[in-house]
Structure 1
Amino acid sequence: MKRWIAIAAVLAVACVLPLLLSPTGYWIRVLTFTLLFAAMAQAWNIIGGLANQTSLGHAAFFGIGAYTSTLLLLKFGISPWLGMLAGGVLGGVAALIIAIPTMRLQGHYFALATLAFGEVMRVIANVWAPLTGGPVGISVPFVPPNFLGYSFKQLLPHAYIALAALVIVTAIFEVIRRGAMGYRLRAIKENPAAAEVIGIDTTKVKLQTAVISGVLMAMLGTLYAQVAVFFDPDTVFNAASISIRVALIAILGGVGTAIGPILGALFIVPVEELMNDLFSSGAAGLSQLIFGIILIAVILWRPRGFITVFDALKARLTGARS
């Protein structure tokens, strides 16, 4: 009961907060990207937290989703809502293609294989200029503001769409974690050999989680494209700003937990923007240096993520009651 009250309170705050910000201001944009990256980290958390496979290639699925919806709108006038579904299908296919030969890899071998796949997609998008625009990039065409066309005058609707996406992805994560697939994944995480002995098809289960994660990541790429309006291959297929960033958000918040990616995004995105706002006019790279120092300090303080803060508080409260 207490958990549901806490969830309802968080959702209430999340629904009211966008209304307190200027609909065309800087911080509503920061809030929108915070919610979006929290959803992206949650999608990564399905494979990284539940399947225990550290993927560094999720930018490939993200970029596929962004380009698919935008190209369908540009060339055929198809609504981004439908383009999002098409991008999700292509993202799932891409996830399956890369997962089949790599799912038996473990640790850094799997991470490097997925990182290489993401870089290959970035190179292809840069070279295939007649379709993607290459390094010049691509712009989302303007259409008259309307919900069915996924076009709005202000950022406020985008913030609520990102919030809805976060809720949906988190619900999918929880359904998997609490369901039969979640039990299988925990068994595989603890001892893959023992899981095989008791009849769990470890490869099949990991493939399923990879495809689900890839589909969600690609669909979130459409949301990013509609907010950013302009992007290029080095933006949406970028390993550092997408793949590594979403993994860092999930790990810093508490990997394998539903609240972890949300906590990580609430810290990383606003603090990074604040550092850029305060120190970008100083020496070159100063804002990134200060942000890096803050990250190192936080990781040293809570190496298992922000979720441990809540665990510690819960333990103290339980001890006080006793």
Structure 2
Amino acid sequence: MSAPSLRQTAGLALLAAFAIALPFAFEPRGYGIRILCLALLFAAMAQAWNIVAGLANQISLGHAAFFGIGAYTSTLLLIHFGITPWLGMMAAAVLGGLAALLISLPTMRLRGHYFALATLAFGEVMRVIGNSWGGLTGGPVGISVPYAKPSLGLMQFADTRASYWLMLGALVVVTVIFVAIKRSRLGYRLRAIKENADAAEVIGVDTTRTKIIAAVISGALTAALGTLYAQFQFFFDPDTVFGVASISVRMAMIAIVGGIGTAAGPILGAFFVIPLEEIANQVFSAQAAGLSQLVFGVLLILVILVEPRGFMAIGPRIRRLLRREER
């Protein structure tokens, strides 16, 4: 094993130990640990979104549809049939993948803002259906997850730190899947499509089929993460889980701020965006209506103006500056 590999292994081991031990620095059921859980969950969601948007440059604004399908699927199975959320999560992934397939068949031939608008419309349609179908979804009133004694089988814990480790595990799984896809033949095809779709078709890449496969994987993972959200929050409504701004745009924003198309980008983005949003709400929400959202938006704009390619591009930029100074 080479020296760089040893350093990388040691670095990953230290990072893993830090991530596992981090929740012990917070109160077991405090506000801080909940923010960490949400940051991990949204990092995983942005990573799932990254598969289709970061690798193939198909910017989806409708991923909230898959997320909401996952949340409702596992919750309804638990309420009506007593099925454990672990199995509900699998059912959610299947339905999320099927929904992604159905929406991808007519839309994956679209590019740029046309594709983004088509997916945005799909997400909005699902939100309207969720609000209208009150007998199944609870409509605007929302739906509550049945709470029983804390148990692993129900994904319900007395200590929020257990939820943290569950979210951490989900992030690791989604990130491993993203890296595996990126290094696979599928990943090379997706990046070829991202660089030049017409040239990729000339060399024999079935661009539509390749993008559909990526979309199905991304949709299935996003739906599975919707189950984790439902079991963590215990209550949600269509506007929350199918919300364009609260889910779809936030996924995209996290990946873009961190570094779209990279494995570490969504993680860095989530641990910047989610705490920043909470801090802005705490500091400015009582000052004036909408002030916290304004401050939060201005800070994000400043970050993107400083480095449009995200946090992952800051390191290489600093190294280039240091090399210039050495010369």
Give the alignment partner of residue 200 of structure 1, picking from 205, 226, 229.
Answer: 205
CA RMSD of aligned residues (A): 1.5
Matched, 1:112 2:117: yes
Alpha-carbon distance between aligned partners in 2 of 1:316 and 1:8, rounded to the nearest angstrom:
30
8 Å contact kept, 2:156–2:232: no
Q: Within the alignment, does 1:22 sit opposite 2:27 as a pair? A: yes
Q: Which amino acid aligns with 2:105?
A: I
Alignment of 1:211-226 (within 5 A): 211-226=216-231
Distance in 1 between residues matched to 2:16 and 2:38, nearest whole Å: 17
Q: Which residue of 2 aligns with 1:151?
A: 156
Give distance in 2, aligned partners of 1:245 and 1:26: 21
Residue deviations 1:77-120 (CA, integer Å, cap 9, x gap)? 00001000000000000000000000000000000000000000
**1:229 equivalent in alignment to 2:237:** no
Q: CA deviation at 1:312?
A: 2.4
Alignment partner of 1:190 is 2:195 = yes
Name stretches of at least 5 consecutive residues in structure 1 with no aligned partner. Answer: none
1:293 corresponds in structure 2 to: 298
Equivalent in 314, 317, 323 of residue 312 of structure 1? 317
My pick for the range that moved more, 150-159 or 131-140, is 150-159
- Residue 272 in structure 1 maps to residue 277 in structure 2: yes
2:139 is aligned, of 118, 134, 139, to 134
How many Å apart are 1:241 and its aligned residue? 0.6
Give the letter aligned to residue 139 of structure 2: G
> 65, 76, 97: which one pairs with 2:70?
65
Give 2:314's aligned amino acid. V
Change (3 A) 1:143 1:271: same
Alpha-carbon distance, 1:269 to partner: 0.1
1:108 counterpart letter in structure 2: H
Whether 2:167 is the aligned partner of 1:162: answer yes
In the alignment, does 2:31 pair up with 1:31? no
- Go from structure 1 to structure 2 and tell me whether the alpha carbon gap of 1:293 and 1:305 turns closer, same or farther (over 3 Å shift): same
Q: What does the per-residue CA deviation read over 1:222-266, in whole Å, with 9 as the maximum and x for residues that have no partner?
A: 000011110000000000010011001001110000011011101
Deviation at 1:154, TM superposition (A): 2.2
| Secondary structure, counterpart of 1:28 in structure 2 | helix
Moved >6 Å (runs of 4+): 317-322
1:178 matched residue in structure 2: 183
Aligned residues: 322
Alpha-carbon distance in structure 1 between the residues aligned to 2:39 and 2:319? 26
- On the 8 A contact 2:127/2:243 being kept in 1, the answer is yes
- Counterpart of 2:265, as a letter, is G
| 281-290 or 220-229, larger mean C-alpha shift | 281-290
Q: Aligned partners of 2:323 and 2:41: how far apart in 1?
A: 34
Q: Where in structure 2 are there 5+ consecutive unaligned residues?
A: none
Q: What secondary structure is seen at the aligned counterpart in 2 of 1:235?
A: helix
> Per the alignment, in what secondary structure is the counterpart of residue 242 of structure 1?
helix
Deviates most, 144-153 or 95-104 = 144-153
CA–CA separation in structure 1 for the residues paired with 2:323 and 2:271:
27
- Deviations, residues 154-204 of structure 1 (Å, cap 9, x unaligned): 211111111111111000000000111111111111221221122111111
Which residue of structure 2 lines up, in the alignment, with residue 90 of structure 1? 95
Which of 56, 68, 74 is the matching residue for 2:61?
Answer: 56
More off after superposition, 3-12 vs 198-207? 3-12
SS in 1 for 2:152: coil
Shift of 1:144: 1.4
Percent pairwise identity: 62
Aligned match of 1:45: 50
How far the C-alpha of 1:319 sits from its partner, in A, is 7.2
After TM superposition, the score normalised by the length of structure 2 is 0.95
In 2 relative to 1, CA 188–152 (structure 1 residues): closer, same or farther, beyond 3 Å?
same
